[in-house]
Amino acid sequence: MTLESYLVGIGTILFISIFSSKLSSKFGIPLLLIFLILGMLMGSEGILGIEFDNPQIAQMVGTIALLFILYDGGLSTNYEDVKPILREGSILATLGVLLTAFMMGIFAYFLLDFTFLESLLLGAIISSTDAAAVFSILRAKKLALKNNIDHVLELESGSNDPMAIFLTLTILNLITTDDWSEFSLFGLIGHFILQFSLGGILGIIAGFLFPKICALARIKYANLYALLSVSWLLLIYGITTHIGGNGFLCIYIAGILINKSHFPFKRNILDFHDSLAWVMQITVFLTLGLLVFPSELIQTALPALILTCLLIFVARPIGVFLSLYKSKFDFREKSFISWVGLRGAVPIVLATYPYLEGLENSHQIFNIVFFMVFISVFIQGSTLPYFANKLKIIND
């Protein structure tokens, strides 16, 4: 195929993906689900028959896309809105994820022919709610929720990926290690504290510095400020990760604090990142859809469906109710927060990690996770307005 053919193909795919948003609005189908379906239709078993079976490329695409999605999530978050619920959102993003991962690991151990660590790995991979899914659905539906519930959900989904990534990589290291004498619980806790402390501190510093840089830059061309923001995002993520901090947490916190400040061409930068985040969402979901072989999903459909039901109706609610035990939210509000436990691109991207480590059950883990994400987005994403009305938590 020629370069022109590839360009026509990419343009056509993006064109169809963008206009598929009309289907989402008309029929209430979550847009991210449409992107996944389009990806599968374009794959080797689909209409276009595009051959793609490279988890490493999919992981790279997913990681880069996640950077821009989380950064945009931070830039779109009003600090004054999330300030009253920082405690609740932070607990959900850490303790809530840990509880969900552990419970799903137990369920997987008794349901699947996995070792205990492999079961915990599956639980860790599927433990976090997805920022792209939650941001897009909540904002597309324009649900005005009582008691800052929408801000809790956005803060949780934007900040809980670091915990899921930490758990996934830690358990993977335990599975692949040859010398268990090197393992230390205190060392693990210390590593966790270091990662999240560095990520948080550098995020605050980066969020404080960027508006100052924009104010002092005096760049002649206004559009270059958006590119300055992109370079800043890549720079702070790379530095934070390189010195052992959590880069994802850093860029999310930086985004929130940048939005809090006033500086030249701020609106241009926010609009640019909003558009770029949509491109990244389309790209990552299409890529992950391409990686899937639909015929193989049938083999894992039953255990994946059972695990999805356990996640939606048992693990997620227990994690939420225990995490928010002393919060201001009542039973109806906690129930809705439990229901908005949408999984999305992050669990699928994390499911490519076992591939790269050469785990025996990596293929099965990926297919189960993909199926669970698909069902989660379809069932929970499609019914958010219904449950919000049913539980009477929408502002009049």
| CATH number for the domain harbouring residue 379 | 1.20.1530.20
| H-state helical runs in 160-223 | 161-176, 185-217
Task: Say if residue 10's pLDDT is above 80.
Answer: no
Residue 368's pLDDT is 93
pLDDT digits (tens, 9 = 90+) for 108-159: 999 998 999 999 999 999 998 876 667 666 666 666 677 888 888 888 888 8
Instruction: Specify if 141 maps to a domain.
Output: yes
Task: Say if residue 29's pLDDT is above 80.
Answer: no
Q: Tally the residues of the chain.
A: 396
- Cα separation, 312 vs 372, in Å, equals 10
Instruction: Specify if 29 maps to a domain.
Output: no
pTM for the full predicted model = 0.87
Percent of the chain with pLDDT over 90: 34
Which residues, other chains included, contact 181 with Cβ-Cβ below 8 Å and sequence gap of 6+? none
Query: Closest Cα partner for 236 from 256, 224, 226, 250?
Result: 250
Residue 322's pLDDT is 95
Instruction: Specify if 209 maps to a domain.
Output: yes
Query: Closest Cα partner for 339 from 306, 314, 312, 315?
Result: 312
Instruction: Specify if 7 maps to a domain.
Output: no
The CA angle 329-332-336, to the nearest 5 degrees, is 90
Count structural domains, the chain. Answer: 1
Task: Say if residue 228's pLDDT is above 60.
Answer: yes
Instruction: Specify if 6 maps to a domain.
Output: no
Residue type, 180: W
Buried b (16+ CB within 10 A) or exposed e, 267-280: eebbebbeebbbeb
Average pLDDT over the chain, rounded to an integer: 85
Domain containing residue 308: 55-390
- Mean pLDDT, residues 20-29 taken together: 62
Percent of the chain with pLDDT over 70: 88
Instruction: Specify if 16 maps to a domain.
Output: no
User: Are 343 and 160 spatial neighbours (Cβ–Cβ below 8 Å)?
Assistant: no
Task: Say if residue 27's pLDDT is above 60.
Answer: no
pLDDT digits (tens, 9 = 90+) for 36-86: 777 787 776 667 677 777 788 888 888 898 899 889 888 988 888 888 888
Per the model's pLDDT, the better-predicted residue between 292 and 240 turns out to be 240
SS3 386: helix
Instruction: Specify if 1 maps to a domain.
Output: no
Residue 138's pLDDT is 64
Task: Say if residue 358's pLDDT is above 60.
Answer: yes
pLDDT digits (tens, 9 = 90+) for 281-321: 888 888 888 888 777 778 888 999 999 999 999 999 999 99
Matching residue, tokens 């069902």: 375
